[in-house]
């Protein structure tokens, strides 16, 4: 394992030529498409006499079940599209925001699916004057595609249960990610039932074209952006491990080299999903941010030993081939709105901020870094280099934090916003970049808002899954 230091760029860095602009209309267009889809699905239900059927108890239950099933199916497809890594959508929202909306959409779709099952069963039972359990058994065993739909529902239940916060805390990232893939299985198994027995899917040529197009778009996006594009980039740039450096405190940096990296559209602040082709379990991807600004020749990632995926980095041999997905993330210079910068990092969350300090343009005194850590500062000599050569003001915040504060316990009982204004009186004139654990990042963003920082000047990425 090499321990050679990273070569740092002297002086101020020029603006990156590889930065993709964030087009706000992409964000608006994506939201408009989502809402238009739900409205169109509701219109299909109305056109199918859904409102008229609400007049009696039995037909009303069945009609309400049809509507909840249609909305659940539409939201399931939107949920898949949210995490399809569509570049222009990902750059507009950022993975952090997309992940939250993906989770909300998924839970909403699941609730509607449960209502669909209950309402349809009650409606059919009332129509046929049979018991509820008997009607459920009849639906599952005699209606075309229902056995597959039942298996798909069980797969979605597994995904929902393991996505709850309490369950995620007990699962390794690799295990959670593998179980999460069952969402694709659930969506696929539901399709035959919808096409064979769902009258709203086949009631008119418009409905048929819409649903086939929606499923094709979701499947196509997943194949292109989750499989095709990563495979193409991995084969084109042929990344391999160049050297591995132990940073101390259970942290390791992996330096990577490859072919024509100047053509890889990546900037400081972004992350990739990495697969190192060495040892068992290499097929399970793990997300790591760049810890140095890309220079067109090499990339560097840094990770703390938080599980098998990150622990195995320390034993990677030089020359190990690397497959990757990305780049992802919107914590970049493309979202910058102000001349001055205030960066807040906690623990391993310092990695993308350190890369931003290297790449972004600023004058001496225009950038300030707050770095909280418990077990020793990472990149200490590199950060001090930026302080000397580029005039970065650095405030180290060692120790455990107090309660809901983003500051170490030693700053209590002084309010967070008072401390921040003391260190940076003109904080409202800064772009604020935040990377760290969820609760800590929320405390920083709340404090920035109390100090008058406009919402559009606060950019954050929560460290975790």
pLDDT tens, position by position, 213-272: 998 999 999 999 999 999 999 999 999 999 999 887 788 999 999 999 999 999 999 999
Kindly indicate the confidence band of residue 176, based on its pLDDT and cuts at 50, 70 and 90.
low
- So what's the pLDDT on residue 198? 65
Question: What gap in Å lies between CA 174 and CA 171, rounded to an integer?
Answer: 8
Q: Which residue has the higher pLDDT, 330 or 463?
A: 330
pLDDT at position 21 is 53
Q: Which residue has better confidence, 71 or 89? A: 71
- Give residue 329's pLDDT band: very low, low, confident or very high (50, 70, 90): confident
Q: What is the mean pLDDT of residues 111-133?
A: 87
Beta strands in 249-382 (DSSP E): 251-257, 271-276, 286-289, 298-304, 322-328, 340-346, 367-373
Q: For residues 310 and 108, give the distance between their C-alpha atoms in angstroms, rounded to a whole number.
A: 33
Residue 365 vs residues 286, 388, 393, 424, 452: alpha-carbon distances, Å? 36, 11, 7, 11, 20
pLDDT per residue over 410-426, tens digit each?
888 899 999 999 999 99
- Pairing between strand 340-346 and 367-373? parallel
Cβ atoms < 10 Å from Cβ of 22: 17
Yes or no: say if 351 and 461 are a contact pair by the CB < 8 Å rule.
no
Distance, CA of 465 to CA of 445 (rounded, Å)? 19
- pLDDT reported for residue 17: 41
What's the pLDDT at 2? 42
- Residue labelled with tokens 């707050």: 370
User: Which residues lie below 8 Å from residue 289, measured CB to CB, with a gap of 6+?
Assistant: 269, 270, 271, 301, 302, 329, 351, 352, 355, 435
Could you give the CA distance from residue 118 to residue 443 in angstroms, rounded to a whole number?
Answer: 41
Q: What is the pLDDT of residue 175?
A: 66
The pair of structure tokens assigned to 171 is 């699962």
Confidence of residue 12 (pLDDT cuts 50, 70, 90): very low
Residue 15 has pLDDT above 50, yes or no: no
Confirm if 405 and 389 have CB atoms less than 8 A apart: no
Q: Which two tokens stand for residue 179?
A: 């179980």
278, 279, 277, 327: which is closest to 299 by C-alpha? 327
Split at pLDDT 50, 70, 90, the class of 20 is low
For residue 393, list its beta bridge partners. Answer: 368
What pLDDT is recorded for position 10? 46
Kind of pairing between the strands at 251-257 and 298-304 = antiparallel
What does the block give as tokens for 235? 């084969």
Percent of the chain with pLDDT over 70: 87
Round to whole Å and give the CA distance between 393 and 385.
11
Query: Over the chain, what is the mean pLDDT?
Result: 85
| pLDDT tops 80 at residue 295 | yes
How far apart, in whole angstroms, are the C-alpha atoms of residue 279 and residue 259? 24
**For residues 378 and 303, is the Cβ–Cβ distance under 8 A?**
no
For 321, which DSSP code?
B
């Amino acid at each position: 394992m090499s321990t050679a230091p990273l070569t740092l760029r002297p002086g101020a860095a020029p603006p990156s030529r590889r930065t993709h602009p964030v087009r706000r209309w992409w964000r608006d267009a994506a939201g408009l498409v989502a809402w238009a889809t739900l409205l169109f699905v509701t219109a299909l239900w109305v056109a199918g006499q859904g409102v008229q059927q609400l007049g009696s108890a039995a037909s009303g239950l069945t009609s309400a079940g049809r509507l909840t099933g249609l909305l659940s199916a539409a939201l399931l497809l939107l949920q898949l599209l949210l995490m399809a890594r569509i570049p222009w959508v990902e750059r507009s929202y950022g993975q952090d925001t997309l992940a939250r909306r993906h989770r909300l959409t998924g839970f909403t779709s699941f609730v509607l699916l449960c209502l669909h099952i209950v309402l349809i069963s009650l409606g059919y039972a009332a129509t046929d004057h049979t018991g509820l359990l008997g009607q459920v058994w009849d639906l599952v065993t005699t209606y075309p595609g229902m056995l597959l739909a039942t298996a798909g529902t069980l797969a979605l239940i597994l995904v929902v249960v393991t996505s709850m916060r309490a369950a995620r805390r007990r699962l390794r990232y690799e295990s959670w990610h593998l179980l999460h893939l069952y969402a694709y299985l659930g969506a696929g198994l539901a399709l035959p039932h919808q096409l064979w027995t769902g009258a709203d899917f086949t009631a008119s040529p418009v409905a048929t074209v819409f649903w086939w197009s929606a499923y094709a778009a979701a499947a196509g996006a997943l194949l292109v952006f989750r499989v095709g594009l990563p495979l193409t980039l991995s084969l084109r740039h042929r990344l391999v491990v160049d050297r591995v450096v132990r940073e101390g405190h259970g942290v390791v940096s992996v330096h990577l080299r490859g072919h024509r990296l100047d053509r890889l559209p990546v900037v400081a602040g972004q992350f990739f999903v990495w697969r190192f082709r060495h040892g068992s379990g290499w097929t399970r991807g793990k997300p790591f941010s760049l810890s140095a600004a890309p220079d067109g020749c090499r990339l560097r990632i840094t990770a703390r030993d938080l599980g098998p995926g990150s622990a195995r980095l320390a034993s990677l041999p030089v020359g190990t081939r690397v497959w990757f997905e990305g780049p992802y993330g919107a914590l970049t210079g493309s979202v910058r709105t102000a001349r001055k910068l205030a960066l807040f990092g906690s623990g391993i969350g310092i990695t993308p901020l350190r890369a931003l300090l290297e790449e972004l343009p600023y004058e001496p005194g225009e950038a300030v870094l707050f770095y909280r850590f418990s077990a020793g500062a990472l990149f200490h000599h590199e950060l001090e280099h930026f302080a000397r050569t580029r005039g970065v003001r650095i405030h180290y915040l060692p120790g455990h934090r107090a309660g809901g504060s983003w500051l170490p316990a030693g700053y209590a009982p002084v309010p967070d916003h008072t401390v921040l204004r003391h260190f940076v009186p003109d904080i409202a004139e800064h772009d604020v970049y935040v990377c760290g654990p969820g609760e800590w990042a929320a405390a920083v963003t709340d404090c920035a808002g109390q100090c008058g920082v406009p919402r559009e000047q606060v950019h954050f990425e929560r460290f975790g899954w």
